[in-house]
Copies of this chain bind each other. A is one copy, B any other.
């Protein structure tokens, strides 16, 4: 299997963390690609995912899969033991997918915020306020549910949250979320010790600049 990959995509990171947890990271051949959020999309990605995003998983048989949620579902299904991380049914599955949806939406807000702010026109105040309000509300929900997340298997839900918090650290390094959210801080400290998380830390090796995204938790 070939994974269209980048070391600074939080959604690619979801796939890589799960692959490490399942013990199948070596089975993924990584093909580095740059997703272009504005302007001419990368034609190599477009040929696999016409919507121009990564991750995309090129299977040995059958069409490629797109979207981190489906790729996680697929890898859990085809890997022995995968159902321990994402059960096929029941409330344990519901909670994993619910946390994943919440964390993915939080990550999308952080990405959309940056895409809007880095455009030539900049970002208007109303849109910025919307992104900030959603980020604060999302963090508050996860703070309240952090004990449940710490007790759950390290499946798609906790993995997606790890990637959302990683994106916050990557693009808003001075926001001070750890001072404001002690339960989430404990969650992040525990997960940081997992080999799957340490092996997939976001790397900005090709560099990029952009506006100073102002976000401060108090």
Contact = CB atoms under 8 A, between A and B. Distances in A.
Interface string A7-41: 00000000000000000000000000000111111
Given A88-B89, A134-B52, A138-B51, A67 B105 contact: yes
A204 interface: no
A173 interface: no
B130 A120 contact: no
Nearest to A68: B101
A130 B37 CA distance: 7
A62 B105 contact: no
A102 interface: yes
Contacts of A77: 89
A3 interface: no
Interface stretch (A91-99, A188-196, A207-215): A91-99
Nearest to A131: B38
A15 to B, nearest CB: 13
Interface in A104-143: 104-106, 108-109, 112, 116, 119-124, 126-127, 129-130, 133-134, 137-138, 140-141
Given A52-B133, A120-B124, A121-B121, 18 more contacts: A36-B130, A37-B130, A38-B130, A39-B129, A41-B130, A50-B102, A50-B106, A50-B138, A51-B102, A51-B106, A51-B109, A63-B95, A67-B105, A70-B94, A70-B97, A88-B89, A116-B116, A119-B124
